Amino acid sequence: MTWISKLRAIEELEDADLDHALVADLEAAAAARPAGPVRFSTPTFKEYSTSEIKGCSKNSFPAFSVTAGACALDCDHCQAKILEPMIPATTPEMLDRKVRDLILLQNLQGFLLSGGSNRRNEIKYERYYGVIEKLKRDFPHLRIAIHSALLDEPRARLMESAGVDTAMMDVIGAQETIREVYHLDRPVADFEATLAALTATRMEVVPHIVIGLHYGRIVGEANALDICARYPIHALVLVVIMPFYAKAGTFATPATGDVGRIFLEARRRLPDRAVNLGCARPPGMHKRVTDAYAIMAGLDGIAFPADGAVAVARAVGRPFEQAHACCSIKIGEDIADRRVMACAT
């Protein structure tokens, strides 16, 4: 039975507008290069549960914002909305207290440190590094991920020295997107230079590419993939633009078929590195189809999988596991609450 026939038998996809040619291409690519297990990540950035997968205990892997809800850049696609569900940690003392409380009360295993950027797309974390060093010394199991924004090599080294495990950044491949969407006067080369600086450290480096960042159009994604492929990254995270963060009428929603073809191209260009589908993507049927394409394309992980994702994994013969952590950070079996589930073949 072909994959398209198997998908038609999945209740959650019965009304989906599937791209038959793309599904055939995904099936052919999988036959040439079988994929391994898919990891379903369910961190506590938001409440989550589906009919197939339950969320994790509250605050087992939370996100903190060093600027609370403030961001000077105010990009068209986000307008600081992504910061709203994060826990405010506007001083090092506040971060230290909240992390220690969560370790004591809720067995915290790690956290994401983020925040709004300045007008140069930089986030000043330096005053937090002393706290990070103490937390890592007192709790060696703790895994810390950080949104680096743009930086140079000396600042990347400081981040590494503090004990940050995983550094994440957005890679943008089109100058017009940086200028028009980010309102930022910096070249594509600065994003590549940041990636080069981060990969020169021992940190796990996980760049993100936002599909459809240019007002819903596919513009610089291919160049962004090329940039990421040039460096020894730990993993690549793909997300899809979410127009409801933006002003009404400014962004289109990328077609799921276009998104799926980028998944296929990312898998082709980075065959030996993890490629994951991150938290951000449009909801509803769009998400169900997007997640199905991600599974069929051989992506290694999906954050907050949609209803039907487990059924798709079973239909195409991929085993799966659940991890209560950010999809960008690697957590060992001894500290992650992971459940490996058998795939019905």
Cα–Cα distances in angstroms (integers) from residue 89 to residues 116, 151, 345, in the given order:
12, 21, 46
Under 8 Å between Cβ of 66 and 83: no
Reported as a pLDDT band with limits 50, 70 and 90, residue 334 is very low
Mean pLDDT across 103-117: 94
Q: b/e for 144-173, b at 16 or more Cβ within 10 A? A: bbbbbbbbeeebbbebbebbbbbbbbbbbb
The Cα–Cα gap between 94 and 329 comes to 23
Backbone angles phi, psi at 55, to 5 degrees: -75, 180
Contacts of 109 (CB under 8 A, 6+ apart): 60, 61, 141, 142, 143, 324, 325, 331, 335, 336, 337
Under 8 Å between Cβ of 57 and 336: no
Cα–Cα distances in angstroms (integers) from residue 30 to residues 3, 267, 273, 302, 328, in the given order:
11, 10, 16, 18, 24
Full strand arrangement of the beta sheet holding 166-170: 87-88, 63-65, 110-114, 143-147, 166-170, 204-211, 235-240, 274-277, 301-303, 38-41, 320-323, 338-341
Domain formed by 3-341, architecture:
Alpha-Beta Barrel (3.20)
Residue that is written with structure tokens 């450290």 in the block: 201
Under 8 Å between Cβ of 48 and 55: yes
Q: Check residue 43 and give its pLDDT.
A: 59
Tokens of 274: 């993890």
Tens digits of residue pLDDT in 157-202:
999 999 999 999 999 999 999 999 999 999 999 999 999 999 999 9
Q: Check residue 344 and give its pLDDT.
A: 34
The residues facing 112 across adjacent strands are 63, 145
Reported as a pLDDT band with limits 50, 70 and 90, residue 339 is very low
Tens digits of residue pLDDT in 282-333:
999 999 999 999 999 999 999 999 999 999 999 999 999 987 655 556 543 3
Give the pairing of strands 204-211 and 166-170: parallel
Whole-prediction pTM value?
0.89
Tens digits of residue pLDDT in 246-274:
888 999 999 999 999 999 999 999 999 99
The whole-chain average pLDDT of the chain stands at 90
Residue extents of the structural domains in the chain = 3-341
Under 8 Å between Cβ of 187 and 228: no
